[in-house]
Amino acid sequence: MHEQLAREAVELVMPAISELLSKYAKRKDLHIVVMDPRVKPWEGSFDEAVLHERSVGESDKWEHDYRGIARSKAKQAWRNGQANIITQMLAPATLESEDTIFWGSFEYYGVIVAASGIEPWFDMLVSAWVATALQQLAQHKVQQLKTEHPNAGFLPT
């Protein structure tokens, strides 16, 4: 269910992302990484915690490795439980040798999303859109489950 919700969240905000890329961003290339909010750094590896990824643009023609940079932003945010701009600006001593020096992730009540390819403030905006959409789609799903199973004390599996 979580993977499906992550895909739906990205699809839901794709029109806004497309508008951003066409009107404001310096590039039309972007990579998005959505982390699984159920997997914490002490419970699994980073790769196990990646819930969904999506590339926009022709990745074989990208100027830089936006996928790698987005994954590094996501790893920083996942490792620290906060948007990586906080790490970059306020806690640079916690950076590790393989960490990117760019920011552009977002944390919303446990959901971490990172993007790379455009200006860092727009990467962060895209990340915020996706993270918020994922939490609210999950809320919608919980409400549906409550309606379908009114006597259940726990979420059905």
Burial of 51 (0-12, 13-18, 19+ CB in 10 A): buried
State the chain's mean pLDDT as an integer: 94
pTM: 0.93
Q: What residue numbers bound the domain in which 144 lies? A: 2-148
Tens-place pLDDT, residues 117-139:
999 999 999 999 999 999 999 99
- Does residue 156 sit within a domain? no
Q: How many domains does the chain have?
A: 1
Tens-place pLDDT, residues 59-114:
788 999 999 999 999 999 999 999 999 999 999 999 999 999 999 999 999 999 99
Q: What is the CATH number of the domain that holds 78?
A: 3.30.450.150
Tokens of 52: 């969904």
Q: SS3 for 43?
A: coil
- Does residue 154 sit within a domain? no
